[in-house]
Amino acid sequence: MKIKVINPNTTASMTAKIGLAAAAIAHPNTEILACHPDMGPVSIESHYDEALSVVGILDEIRKGEADGVDGYVIACFGDPGLLAARELAQGPVLGIAEAAMHAASFVATGFSVVTTLGRTRVIAQHLVDAYGMTHFCRRIRAIDLPVLSLEENSDICNAAILQECRAALNEDHCGAIVLGCGGMADLATSISDQLGVPVIDGVSAAVKFVEALVGLGLGTSKTGDLAYPIAKPYSGILSAFRHS
């Protein structure tokens, strides 16, 4: 099966890291197509960045449908454009935040999230609420370093993430940690080994869930609100986004 893993920001090093993590966990018969949109922010750490990333994500889904992709992963922890992407896709589309939170809820009665900038905590909190995870999520923590510092200052970042994960275990009464950024996709195994608890990277979790859903013969429901978008004209620079 073909799984397209979309890094919604346009930073190529992050796309490569996400693609490696996805390929490492995927079944040998699964083809991972890692990509990022041609247009959009270099990192996503605000509501504004999220909104502007969505058009590029939808363009990647549109191309994926033409290429016969079986399922998709939106590899940014805000799950930008998730429901709109589902409207365009025949197969399943999973966000890494929803995949990671659901995986955590299967293996622990409580988890804490460790994310990047403090201002993104509210984005994660909205998702916790939307996904019915309020009961499981103990706390959303931030290292207060920008997303691109994961690429540019990885030693400092990795140390800060480990320290925050340790604090979560000591202070939050949680049994698992959810890593709150696609750029942390390479860190879960090593942190889990050091701390002795499940540490969940949403990229890996989402790839395995997409494989399972496709294996079950399940795609996105085309009845109701996730049906294909209504064909209508779109104006200006969005005129190519008409769905036929």
Q: Which residues bind ligand 2AL (CB under 6 A)?
A: 9, 43-45, 76-78, 115-116, 120, 147, 180-183
Smaller CB separation from ligand 2AL, 83 or 122: 122
Query: Closest residue (Cβ) to ligand 2AL?
Result: 181
Between 77 and 209, CB nearer to ligand 2AL: 77
CB of 116 to ligand 2AL, least distance (A): 4
- Comparing CA positions, the residue from 218, 148, 160, 216 lying closest to residue 187 is 160
Q: How far is the CB of 132 from ligand 2AL (least distance, A)?
A: 20
Cα→Cα distances 97→67, 133, 155, 169, 178, Å: 26, 11, 24, 20, 8
In the complex, least distance from residue 120 CB atom to ligand 2AL, rounded to whole angstroms:
4
| Min CB(44)–ligand 2AL separation in Å | 4
Residues 61 and 88: beta-carbon distance below 8 Å: yes
Judge whether 145 and 181 are in contact, CB under 8 Å. no
Whose Cβ is closer to ligand 2AL: residue 45's or residue 60's? 45
Inter-residue contact 140 to 115 (CB < 8 Å): yes
Measured distance CA(207)–CA(101) in Å, rounded: 14
- Which of residues 56 and 182 has its CB atom nearest to ligand 2AL in the complex? 182
